[in-house]
């Protein structure tokens, strides 16, 4: 496989060096694998720290900045960061108001963030944690006990980040993060397999003419394989799976997310079909985001995430944000 890299062993460090050069608003510690907003710690504000394996960019480093994350910890490709990274991040961004860990539900992430929280509390840092587990495709998978954390991570980090920017205390920021997760559901589909730099070939077999419904962001198996479907048929399947699990009683935010190798031309067309299905089901849409936000390296495919919101949550979503991947109102 052809990749725009030097060698697999340095791919994460090289990416971090490039990120540092592109975004002077960030402090990027390449050696210790921590990305921090340059003005941290911000006096009187709860800090948000997240992280996970590399290969899902812009998640999480691309969401560091005012109105969203205070710091992110990138692990090796598809591998959890280690507790020392999270502890270093928490110590760098804590203003005394406490730190919220946003953790996707993958076994390594959960264990390492739990250990980091204990270490941080030993150093006098108040820590709360929220687990993101929005994927309706499967209950358990190769990497999780329970549901996987996927696209709702973006909604949690943005809305909770806005609550922190308002100066809300840690318990309120944590409660808002949990509220967002509880009101979010996702479903993904793969059109091609993912190739990691270390392996250099597809990590699973997906024959031509077939797709995987309910795929995970590491290439974990989904619900079933089928012959290739149209964009409209995929939207019908994905949205119905979400609404069966979460019949919304409020309007929704919509994320139509690319897995890394799907062009915007296709994602916008897919969004049109998602919006059609939601309209047919009588679901009101208040905001829509389309693009590559929670990716899986070079996987072709897409995911749909719905988050039902009230006026308070919508106001926090609309609040100003300035990060490499998400910015408005500033």
The encoded tokens of residue 87 equal: 């502890």
Q: Does residue 213 contact residue 237 with C-beta atoms inside 8 Å?
A: yes
The encoded tokens of residue 313 equal: 């949550």
φ, ψ dihedrals at 186, nearest 5°: -135, 160
Q: Does residue 28 contact residue 214 with C-beta atoms inside 8 Å?
A: no
56 is catalytic: yes
DSSP tag of 62: G
Report DSSP letters for 97-133, one per residue. Answer: S-EEEEEES-HHHHHHHHHHHHHHHHTT--EEEEEE-
Around 39, how many Cα atoms within 13 Å sit in the side-chain half-sphere? 12
Catalytic residue among 60, 218, 240, 249: 218
Residues 6+ apart with CB under 8 A from 182: none
Residue 209 burial (10 A CB sphere; 0-12, 13-18, 19+): exposed
Catalytic residue among 43, 56, 60, 249: 56
The encoded tokens of residue 177 equal: 């993060």
Q: Does residue 60 contact residue 323 with C-beta atoms inside 8 Å?
A: no
Catalogue the active-site residues: 56, 218
């Amino acid at each position: 496989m052809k990749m725009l890299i030097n060698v697999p062993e340095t791919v994460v460090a090289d990416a971090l060096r490039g990120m540092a050069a592109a975004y002077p608003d960030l402090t990027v510690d390449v050696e210790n694998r921590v990305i921090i907003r340059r003005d941290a710690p911000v006096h009187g504000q709860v800090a948000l720290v997240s992280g996970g394996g590399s290969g899902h960019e812009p998640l999480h480093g691309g969401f560091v900045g005012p109105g969203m994350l205070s710091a992110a910890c990138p692990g090796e490709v598809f591998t959890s960061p280690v507790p020392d990274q999270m502890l270093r991040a928490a110590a760098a961004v804590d203003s005394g108001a406490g730190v919220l860990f946003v953790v996707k539900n993958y076994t390594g992430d959960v264990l390492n963030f739990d250990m980091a929280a204990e270490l941080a509390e030993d150093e006098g840092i108040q820590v709360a944690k929220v687990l993101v587990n929005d994927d309706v495709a499967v209950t358990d998978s190769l990497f999780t006990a329970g549901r996987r954390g996927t696209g709702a991570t973006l909604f949690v980090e943005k809305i909770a980040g806005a609550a922190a920017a308002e100066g809300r205390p840690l318990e309120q920021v944590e409660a808002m993060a949990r509220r967002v997760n509880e009101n979010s559901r996702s479903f993904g589909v793969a059109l091609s397999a993912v190739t990691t730099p270390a392996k250099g070939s597809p990590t699973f077999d997906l024959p031509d003419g077939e797709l995987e419904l309910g795929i995970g962001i590491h290439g974990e198996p989904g619900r079933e394989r089928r012959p290739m479907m149209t964009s409209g048929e995929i939207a019908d399947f994905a949205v119905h799976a979400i609404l069966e699990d979460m019949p919304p009683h409020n309007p929704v935010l919509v994320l139509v997310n690319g897995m890394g190798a799907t062009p915007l031309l296709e994602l916008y067309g897919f969004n049109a079909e998602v919006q059609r299905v939601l309209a047919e089901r009588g679901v009101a849409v208040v905001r829509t985001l389309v693009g590559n936000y929670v990716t899986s390296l070079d996987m072709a495919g897409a995911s749909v995430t719905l988050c039902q919101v009230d006026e308070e949550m919508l106001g926090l979503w609309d609040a100003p944000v300035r990060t490499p991947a998400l910015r408005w109102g500033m």
